[in-house]
Chain A
């Protein structure tokens, strides 16, 4: 049982007023209350960015990692204790620049955890540089002459890498974000929730109006089991064509289900005994 009160910390959130992070925070707490996530069954990790501060505002066990390194910490915790719900909070700089290698490998291994991507297409915490999600031509402090690079697409990258649950939502749709986080966690495998959010301080192009005007939900005619269709939908971006919803979902054995010796509970995880390795010496005699 988890109440909103249980999740409260003494720290006041330091997001800019109007930041999409407030919505994501609200949605996650709603999901935690609904599902009973707490310090006996859940672990959060985050990288570095505005997103990272969320760990100070949710009273659930967490590891605040280095930039780009939230995913491997989560993998280690998940492989250590099969009873944990594991969530990674990350950003477009964190996982699509610094930590992309880990993003890809987490997907291909199908670890049973959820990656929540705070996707605001900008580097907020470092005051406004271009991100791997910024469009070509984008002007910022780091590309004042226009961004020469094309953006990377976290969804196509996830599908191509083997992720088995690939979804996108828009931060301000708090009930839908809540629901998607719950579904992502229920999914037994690597789940990506790409959350489009405005950075009201630094990203004037992808603001709330942009997302409200141009996003739409995938309908009944979309088959989430069809990888090719999912990939095609994931490629869509632009005026009136930013899909939201579950793009792809596949039931496939998680990485952890292939570890017969995985510790089943927290008490198992902390059990640590001296071992008799006499049989192992035989090979060296």
Chain B
């Protein structure tokens, strides 16, 4: 297996041990010291117990995905060592509590086992047992020449709502761990987190958080979100800010209510959104078509996870593409986009609101567990050029107003409720005013009008897929969603491999994709589902049947190393 040239720090233990927050603190010490990071976490669907692991890959340059190998493992329990021993590489460090007497014989690589008496370190500093992790992190930072100043600031931020003694005590414990390692593991210290002279301000953010911020920036008025892994954090990042920023977040009784509430709010004039996972979207499939027929703008963020049914809730999959493209009975304009990372999630959320308003139809933005929860470091997102576009929104009373007036581009003038413009947003097929109507000519006119929107969208708004890597290549990778990061890392190792990243799923950039793929020498389709759904979509839209696929549907990511291995195998066979 190829080894990437990045340093990966990993921490593992049972749920409830603060592993995620430790990992995040580590990541922010790195970014505040001038580095780029990408973090990845794994956890079961539990609140306590089970096995949680979080890893942070650190780099001097932007890094788009984590590594399969681990250079520094903090093991809070035996299981962590047992589960991750094969990831450790020669020269790696394994840090653990000496009181717990872990067995390390499963580790094949030549590692340095560093154990420290965490209980003693903590109690001597005046702390309580739960602070063992803070001591462990302090020790880890010492061994990587990381900054205690940054760690202290992070501790203050973490406990800012508690009594100052809590912060002080945690900082004391952290320093105790730091000092212990600095003294006892002096020769093992590596300059991984050494503070850089010039540090650019960065944010450490995932797609859930980015989507929430994108929505607020884009003038969000109403959000109804029922919690569901992996998108619950979207609502966690909207609910606290609603009063200050002037939007309403409502927790609904179910996903059916979520989407139908959003349709009511949207018809009253507010930019409205919902967010869920595949199972919640299944319940929303009713409202999806209702939005389409009533021509109500709404943004739906669908965060995929292992399916079907409850599936593997805390693990990844990209199995909902076909479902989203076809959900609900009949034909109506479904605009479907897919984000490949947190940054895309931010900008595509803004775009989704504009598209929903302009085309007066539901817009689904697909994300997945990996990007929803993995953090990546970025410069704070800028959007000076962004302008709210509400399309043909009417803001006055009009004479003879017709909500569903036939029009060349398929888009009618849209009045909200309460302006004095009568209309009936009707789940029945309807005439231009909205009254129920079953006649042949009217039905055809309205169907054509609605479907014309997709043709207009393709002409006016659809964005091109991006080709990463050289224009000329021996191998072209095709993929979508969270594979973007791993693939971008993989192709860095080649000068004859490129990557076509698909973002627009409907309308679909058929001509461009066809051009790229017809000229490709060898194509590999990469995605995380059983039935190669993107491959099927490409076949349907372009006639090109990609022969070689790299599929994964066990909930784990497709790693860069695996992609590199696949590329090497193909190149070797040629």
Contacts and interface: CB of A to CB of B under 8 A. Distances in A.
Interface stretch (B138-146, B202-210, B447-455): B202-210
A280 B241 contact: yes
Contacts of A267: 395
A55 B426 CA distance: 9
Contact of B268 (A39, A62, A77, A259): A77
Interface string B364-388: 0000000000000000110100111
Contacts of B32: 285
Interface residues of B, number: 73
A66 B263 contact: no
Interface in A56-81: 56, 59-66, 69, 72-81
Given A76-B263, A269-B221, A81 B286 contact: no
Contact of B425 (A10, A53, A64, A74): A64
A186 interface: no
SS class, residues of chain B in contact with chain A: mixed
A74 B264 contact: yes
A277 B245 CA distance: 9
Contacts, number: 205
Interface in B212-264: 213, 216-219, 221-222, 224, 241-243, 245-248, 250, 252-254, 256-257, 260-264
Contact of A101 (B204, B217, B253, B435): B253
Given A55-B424, A64-B425, A266-B418, A81 B261 contact: no
A162 B392 CA distance: 41
Contacts of B427: 48, 64-66
A48 B436 CA distance: 12
A228 interface: no
B436 A102 contact: no
A72 B265 contact: no
Interface stretch (B53-61, B118-126, B269-277, B546-554): B269-277
A61 B294 CA distance: 13
Contacts of A220: none
Contacts of A62: 424-425, 434
A38 B421 CA distance: 10
B419 A39 contact: yes
A73 B263 contact: yes
Given A53-B436, A63-B425, A72-B257, A266 B217 contact: no
Interface in A16-42: 38-41
Contact of B380 (A63, A102, A260, A281): A281
B422 A59 contact: yes
A269 to B, nearest CB: 4
A270 interface: yes
Contact of A280 (B213, B388, B436): B213
Contacts of A73: 260-261, 263-264, 267
Nearest to B377: A284
B166 interface: no
Interface in B417-443: 417-428, 434-436
A83 interface: yes
A45 interface: yes
B393 interface: yes
A84 interface: yes
Interface residues of A, number: 58
Contacts of A84: 268, 417-418
B418 A76 contact: no
A83 to B, nearest CB: 7
A272 interface: yes
B263 A270 contact: no
B269 A81 contact: yes
Interface string B102-140: 000000000000000000000000000000000000000
Contacts of A225: none
B201 interface: yes
Given A81-B268, A261-B242, A285 B435 contact: no
Nearest to A40: B420
Contacts of B28: 285
A218 interface: no
Contact of B224 (A60, A65, A76, A284): A76
Contacts of A66: 260, 286-287, 290, 427
B563 to A, nearest CB: 29
Contacts of A276: 217
B416 interface: yes
B435 A11 contact: yes
A13 to B, nearest CB: 12
A143 interface: no
Given A64-B425, A269-B268, A284 B204 contact: yes
Contacts of B261: 72-73, 75-76, 79
B417 A43 contact: yes
Contacts of B213: 277, 280-281
Contacts of A284: 203-205, 209
11 contacts: A39-B422, A66-B427, A75-B250, A76-B224, A78-B264, A79-B264, A80-B270, A101-B257, A269-B416, A272-B269, A285-B31
Interface of B: 28, 31-32, 201-205, 209, 213, 216-219, 221-222, 224, 241-243, 245-248, 250, 252-254, 256-257, 260-272, 286-287, 290, 294, 380-381, 383, 386-388, 390, 393, 395, 397, 416-428, 434-436
